[in-house]
Structure 1
Amino acid sequence: MRAVKLLPFFILIVLLQACLETRQIEESAIINTRGVDLIDEGEKRMIETTIIPYIFDPHAPDMTSLLIGRGHTIKEARIEAEKQSPYPLVPGKISIEFYGKEAAESGILPFLNTLVRDATVSDIMQLAVTNQTAKELLEVEQESVKLNRTEYLEDLMKKEVKKGTLPRNTLEFFTRLVQQVGIDPILPVIDVVNGKPTLTSAAVFREDRYVGSISIKESFMANLLRQRMGGAPLDVGVPLENYLDEIAYQGEATEMEDTIFLSLMLNTGKGKIKIVDASSLTFKADITMKLELLETSIPMNIKSEDTSRRFERDIEKYFVREYEKLFAKLQEVNSDVLGLGRRYIASRKGSKTTDKEWMEKYQDASMEFDIDVTIINFGAID
C-alpha cells in the first residue's frame, strides 16, 4: 500500500529530471582561473575580467586560452568574454580568483557576491592579490608556464599554506573572517618577477579592502598567533660578537659581517593573545617555538648547550623586535590581522562592539610580546 502511495512521487521526479538542461562537458569551457580589475572606459568605471578556461574538446586548437570581457558586473563581463569562446563559459569550477591592486583596494566583496550565490562554486577556491593588474599577471602566466597553468598557480600558494607561512586563502575562510568583528584577512600576493609569476608578499586587509603588504616571514608570524604550527623553515640573524669563540672559520666573510644568519626549522610553535587591561587596551602575546638548527652562515663549532642557550635568547630578542615592527606596521594601515579585537570583544560579554567602534580603539592599543624559544636539535655544526 505504501509503495502505491509513493509511486506518483517517483514518477514526478523522473519527469522533472527530463526537464533539466543537459550540457556535454566536451561542449563547455570550464573557467579555471579568473582575474578581476577595475578600469576607466571613458567616464565610466568598469569591471574587466580575464578568464583562463579549460576546453575538453580534443579537436579544439587550444585546450586553454585567455578571454577578456568588460561590464558593470562580473556576470556581464563574463558574458562579454564568452563572445570570444566557441563554447559556453561555466563558472562553477573556478580554482583561483586574482584581484588587481586597484580592484583589491576598492574592496572585493562585491566581486565575491556572484561566487557566494552560486551553489556550484567550491568554498575551497583560492583568492589572491597582485600589485599589478590581474590581466598583466595572467597574460605573463600564459606565456611563461606552458602546461598545467592553473595547477602551477594553485601549488605556488598551497605549499606555503601547508607550511604555515600563509594562512588559508579560500573563499569560505576569507568571507568568514570579513564577517567577524575584530580580525582581518590575509591573502597571498603574486607578482611578475623576472618574467614569471612569483609569490612576493602577503596582502593585509581592513575588512574586504587591501590596505598594505607584509613579508612572507611576517605572514608566518601573524599566522603563528592564529594556529599551532610545525614544519616551517625560518631564517634569523643573531649578533656575531656573541659567538666569537665558536667561529670555526676566519676570512673575509667573518670580517665583513656583524651578524650570523641561522637557518632553522620550526618543529612546533603556538601563540596566544591575552588582554592584560581592557580599559587601557593593553595586550600580551605569549609565543613558544621549538626549533631545529640546520645551518649557520659562518661555520661554527657548536659543542655545548651553553651556546645553544645563547642562540635561544638571541632568537627570542630577534622575534620580539620583529613582532613589534609588525604590530606598528599593522596599526599604521589600520589592519587587525592579529585578531586583538576578537580578544577584546570576548572579554566584554554582553557588549555589542561594532567593527567601526573597535577600529577607533585599535589605534590606542599596545602590545607586549613574550617569546620562548627552545632549540631541540643543534648537533655539532662545523
Structure 2
Amino acid sequence: MSHYRKLLGVLFILLLLPTTLSGCGFKDIDKRIFVVSVGVDPAKNSDKKFLVTLKLAIPNVQEVSNEFLIIAEEGDTIAEAVRIMKAKVDKELDFSHAKLIVYNEKILKPEIEKNLYYWFIRRRDFQEMSWVAIGKPSAQEVLKLKPKSERLPSNSLFLILGKDGSESAYVIAEFLFDFKKRFSEKGLDPLLPIIEVKKNIFEIDKVGLLDKKGLKLQLSPKETMILNFFVNEEPKTALKIENGEQSFVIDIQGVKTNYKLMTDSLKQPYIKVDIKLQGRIEEALFDVSNKNLRQYEKMANTFTKKQVRDVLVKLQKSKVDPLGFGLRYRSRHFEKDDWETWERLYPEIKFKVNADVQIKDTGLVE
C-alpha cells in the first residue's frame, strides 16, 4: 500500500512539472536578443537621473555580422530604464553576453556611486567579469561607433581590453568585480580606462582616477603608462628617455615593481619604491654604441626615477590611492585608530624611488 502511495506521489509531481516550467521565465534562444554593451549617461530630456543605452547584437545565421541595434531610455534608476526598454524589442533582453559597461564622466559624482554598479552586481545574468570604462564624449557615442575593422558588435573593444588583440601599456582594463571592491575597500581607490571616440576610431590611452565619492583626476598617456607599470607590470611599451640631443627610446621587455612602507618608529615616514625595467634601445637621436650601455642606463635611471616620483606625488596631492598603499598599511596595523593615522600620514609621506633600467643592447650589429 505504501508503495502505491509513493507511485501516486511521483505521478502527481510529474503532472505539475509542465505548469511549473511554464512560469519560470525561461525563454528559448530564438526568443532572446543579446546585449553586448551598456552605456550610462546623464538624462537629457527629462528630470530623470540616467540615460541608459543598450547595444544589441543582431545575429545572422548565414555569415558573421557586425550589425547591431541601439536602444535607449531615461530613468531614475538603471533598472527602471531597462524595464521600459523591454517594451521596445520583440525578444527577451539577455545580459549574459554583456561584457562592457561604459559610464559618462558627468555621472561619476557623489551620492549616486552605488547606483553605478549595484544593479549590475545584483543581476543574476550579468557577468562580474565585465569590463567598466569611462566614455567620451559620452557613453552612448562609444556604443554607437562601428569601426571598419570590427567583425562583431563591440568586439574591437573586447579585443583591446582583454588583450586578445592589441596589447598596450596605455590601457588599464578594469573589471566590474574589482571596481566594486575598490569602492568599498579602505585604502584602495577605483580607476577606469577612458575610451574616446575620435574620427571613427577608439582611442584608449588615459585613465581616470576616483576616490570613494567620484572622479578626481585624469592621467596623461605617459602617466597612465607609468601607473600601469605598477598595476599590471605591463612591459608592452616603449619608454622615451629625454636628455636633450641624447634622447633615445627603449623597447621595454620586462617590468618588475615593488614598494615597502617605512612608517614605524621614524620621524619622517616614507615609501620605498623600486622599479626594474629591461629592454633594448629601439630608436635614438644620436649615434649609439654597445660600448656605452652603462652610460645610457645611468641616463635612463635618472629620468625614470623622476617620472615615477612625479606620478606618485600627483596621486598623493589628489588624495587618491589606486595602488593600495593604505590597504598595505591596514594589513600590518590592527588598532582601531590606525586608519585615522594613515589618513594623516598619506598627504605628507615621502617617496624614495629607486630605478634600475637594464639595457641589453642597442639593437644594432656592429
Query: Which secondary structure state, in structure 2, belongs to the residue aligned with residue 334 of structure 1?
Result: coil
Alignment match, 1:335: 320
Cα distance, 1:114 vs. partner? 1.0
Comparing both structures, which one devotes a greater share of its residues to helix? 1
- The question of 1:266 aligning with 2:259 is answered no
Shift of the alpha carbon at 1:366? 1.8
Given the superposition, is the C-alpha separation of residues 87 and 232 from structure 1 closer, same or farther in structure 2, using an over 3 Å criterion?
same
1:162–1:358 distance in 2 versus 1, CA, 3 Å: farther
CA distance in 2, matches of 1:215, 1:52: 29
Contact 1:294–1:378 (Cα < 8 Å) also in 2: yes
Q: How does 1:127-138 map to 2 (within 5 A)?
A: 127-138=132-143
State the superposition RMSD in angstroms. Answer: 3.3
Q: In structure 2, the residue corresponding to 1:329 is in which secondary structure?
A: helix
Query: After alignment, is 218-227 or 183-192 more displaced?
Result: 218-227
Q: Aligned to 1:369, which of 347, 353, 357?
A: 353
How many angstroms does 1:25 deviate by?
A: 1.7
Distance 1:377 1:24, change over 3 A: same
Paired position in structure 2 for 1:303: 290
Deviations 1:127-151 (A, max 9, x none): 0102422123323x14766642311
- Is it true that 1:82 corresponds to 2:82 in the alignment? no
Please name the residue that 2:330 is paired with. 345
CA distance in 2, matches of 1:129, 1:275: 32
Q: Judge conservation of contact 1:334–1:359 (CA < 8 Å) in 2.
A: no
Distance in 2 between residues matched to 1:324 and 1:312, nearest whole Å: 18
- Tell me which of 184, 202, 206 is aligned to 1:197: 202
Counterpart of 2:247, as a letter, is I
Within 1, Cα distance between the matches of 2:251 and 2:11?
63
1:380 Cα offset (Å): 3.1
1:119 alignment partner in structure 2: 124
CA-CA distance at 1:152 after TM superposition: 0.8
CA contact (8 A) 2:159 2:166 kept: no
Aligned length: 354
1:225–1:338 contact (8 Å) kept in structure 2: yes
Unaligned runs of 5+ in 1: 241-257
State the 1:378 CA deviation. Answer: 3.2
**How many angstroms does 1:234 deviate by?**
2.1
Aligned to 2:55: 52
What is residue 298 of structure 2 aligned with on the other side?
313
2:215 equivalent among 190, 210, 213: 210
Which blocks of at least 5 consecutive residues in structure 2 are unaligned?
Answer: none
Q: Following superposition of structure 1 onto structure 2, how do residues 1-382 of structure 1 map, counting pairs within 5 Å?
A: 15=17, 16-17=20-21, 19-39=23-43, 41-42=45-46, 44-56=47-59, 63-106=67-110, 108-139=113-144, 141-142=145-146, 147-159=151-163, 165-207=170-212, 209-227=214-232, 229=233, 231-240=235-244, 258-267=245-254, 269-278=255-264, 280-289=268-277, 291-298=278-285, 300-304=287-291, 307-351=292-336, 353-354=338-339, 358-380=342-364
Q: Is the Cα–Cα contact under 8 Å of residues 192 and 209 in structure 2 kept in the other structure?
A: yes
Contact 1:157 1:188 (8 Å CA) reproduced = no
* C-alpha distance in 1 between matches for 2:6 and 2:359: 72
TM-score, normalised with respect to structure 1: 0.81
Q: Cα gap change, 1:216/1:238 in structure 2, threshold over 3 Å: closer, same or farther?
A: closer
Residues 53 and 70 of structure 2 are in contact (CA less than 8 Å); yes or no, is this contact kept in structure 1?
A: yes
% same residue = 17
Question: Per the alignment, in what secondary structure is the counterpart of residue 263 of structure 1?
Answer: strand
Residues 272 and 287 in structure 1, CA contact (< 8 A), matched pair in contact too: yes
TM-score (norm 2): 0.84
Q: Which residue of 2 aligns with 1:251?
A: none
| CA distance 1:215–1:303, change in 2 (3 Å) | same
Structure 1 residues 110 and 184: CA distance shift in structure 2, 3 A: same
Following the alignment from structure 2 to structure 1, what is the Cα–Cα distance between the partners of residues 325 and 282?
Answer: 35
Contact kept in structure 1, 2:48 and 2:75, CA below 8 Å = no
- Aligned amino acid, residue 341 of structure 1: G
Residues 1:94 and 1:360: Cα distance change in structure 2 (over 3 Å):
farther
Contact 1:36 1:48 in 2 (8 A): yes
Residue 275 of structure 1 aligns to which amino acid in structure 2? Answer: L
* Structure 2 CA distance for aligned equivalents of residues 144 and 210 of structure 1: 32
Contact 1:29 1:88 (8 Å CA) reproduced: yes
Q: CA deviation at 1:320?
A: 1.2
AA in 1 matched with 2:357 = V
Q: Residues 361 and 230 (structure 1 numbering): CA distance in 2 closer, same or farther, change over 3 Å?
A: closer
1:370 shift after superposition:
0.9
Which region of structure 1 is more displaced relative to structure 2, 200-209 or 113-122?
200-209
8 Å contact from structure 1 (residues 27, 56) kept in 2: no
Q: Distance in 2 between matches of 1:191 and 1:368?
A: 35
Cα–Cα, structure 1 residues 93 and 109, in superposed 2: closer, same or farther, change >3 Å?
farther
